[in-house]
A = this chain, B = another copy of it.
Amino acid sequence: MSMILGFDTYDVRFPTSLRLDGSDAMNPSPDYSAAYVVIRTDAADPGEPGAALAGHAFVFTIGRGNDVQLAAIRALEPLVAGLDVDEVLADLGALYRRLVSDSPLRWLGPECGVVHMAIGAVVNACWDMAARRAGKPLWLLLAELPPAEIVRLIDFRYLTDALTQDEALHLLEQGREGMAERMALLRRNGYPAYSTTPGWLGYSDDRLASLCAEAVDDGFTQVKIKVGARLADDKRRMAIARETVGDKIGIAIDANQVWDVPAAISWVRELAPAQPAWVEEPTSPGDILGMAAIRNGVWPVKVASGEHAANRVVFKQLLQARAIDVMQIDACRVAGVNENLANLLLATKFGVPVCPHAGGVGLCEIVQHLSMFDYVALTGTMQGRMIEWIDHLHEHFVTPAVVSGGRYLTPQAPGASTRMRPESLAEFSFPMGAVWRATGLLA
């Protein structure tokens, strides 16, 4: 028998606030960070002779509080250490349900915030481990699971008024038709991306324009810019972007939750003539009724939300209330792959396309697997779907996500693409890594 031995945790932080990468109306100067966990076992890793099997994953944070997130991850260690590796990997639905059902930890949410994201990291690390052991990239491992097994991975609690097990099974069985052809297409052509690299709020107009031009040259068909601080600035920046990219490229706008409902409606109406592809996070990510009112009020501008949706119950309601045109899952905000499978099935049931949130630290790397699963084994289409792309910090990953010609290349390496380079873990460890000792930010 092989056993889960325990967790190693790392407080990894990148001093991104020095250049205002990642700056938006809500988050003026983030230090992109990862509360990073390695789940160690004494099993063998078939892909790496002599090495022990391990699973890597993380929660993306923006600096202060990364240590609190790590404390929550470590609080899960006693529930996982000592378990049999084969049993865990054979029934990841059971592990997920055990973690979200632990009554004292559930009290600290329920199913939201630091504890819920910690469960996401642990669940995702186990999926990384499962995929490595299977010798497959995560998207392929998921796509090849029988529909009934996928249904067993999901916690239908609180969902059955919108999606039953039978409906989920039916959607997954439908999704298998033509799967082999789509796998071949995916491997050949990859998956569409859009670029947020140009649009950070702290960037100058010149930088905005040159990065927009670069994005078009690189083959992207949509860019995204941050809005919501000053209306005059937004109009000017939107005009610069539109002039640079032309009429055929989409320009999404992202307010990062800064508006109340009435303000969102009037502000977006002001920007509507520039034809934004969607408006993202116009208000509180948990304000389902407010989001629905905004969607009605800003028509024909589309509303996108979900990167900060706490759990599947919020997604269920956003869909039931017809509050969103585009659903944006995040790989690390909810309780991992399992809860995101529920989210993908909900979106499919309601006919809303999923365009995942990415960027941050490693979010592109992991979430691409979920969109690719969605295409190959569930919705069968890329129509109206694309994954966010920010060309930033990928060099710290062992098998980084790669975008070329405006498309994510399909990962081939075993695992969930979540593994950071050991040198990066060391250099960017907070506060004692070489980079932090050198920045002077700690003084």
Chain A residues with a Cβ under 8 A of chain B: 26-31, 61-65, 67-69, 71-72, 75, 102-117, 156-161, 257, 260-263, 283-290, 293, 308, 310-311, 313-314, 316-317, 320-321
Nearest-neighbor residue (CB-CB) of A24 within chain B: B103
* Contact between A71 and B67, CB atoms less than 8 A apart: yes
With contact pairs A112-B112, A113-B109 given, residues A63 and B104 touching in the complex (Cβ less than 8 Å): yes
With contact pairs A65-B75, A313-B287 given, residues A261 and B107 touching in the complex (Cβ less than 8 Å): no
Nearest-neighbor residue (CB-CB) of A26 within chain B: B103
Q: A27-B107, A31-B104, A65-B104 are in contact. List 6 more A-B contacts (CB 8 A).
A: A68-B108, A69-B108, A110-B284, A110-B308, A158-B283, A290-B317
Q: Could you list some 21 contacts between A and B, CB below 8 A?
A: A29-B103, A30-B104, A31-B104, A62-B103, A65-B104, A65-B115, A67-B71, A68-B75, A69-B108, A72-B114, A109-B112, A109-B113, A110-B285, A110-B308, A112-B286, A112-B310, A159-B260, A286-B311, A287-B317, A289-B317, A289-B321
* Contact between A313 and B286, CB atoms less than 8 A apart: yes
Task: Give the chain B neighbours of A286 by CB distance below 8 A.
Answer: 111-112, 286, 310-311, 313-314
- A30, B317: Cα distance in complex, Å: 30
Q: How far is the CB of A193 from chain B (nearest CB, A)?
A: 24
Nearest-neighbor residue (CB-CB) of A109 within chain B: B113
- A124, B108: Cα distance in complex, Å: 18
* Contact between A28 and B68, CB atoms less than 8 A apart: no
Task: Give the chain B neighbours of A62 by CB distance below 8 A.
Answer: 103-104, 107
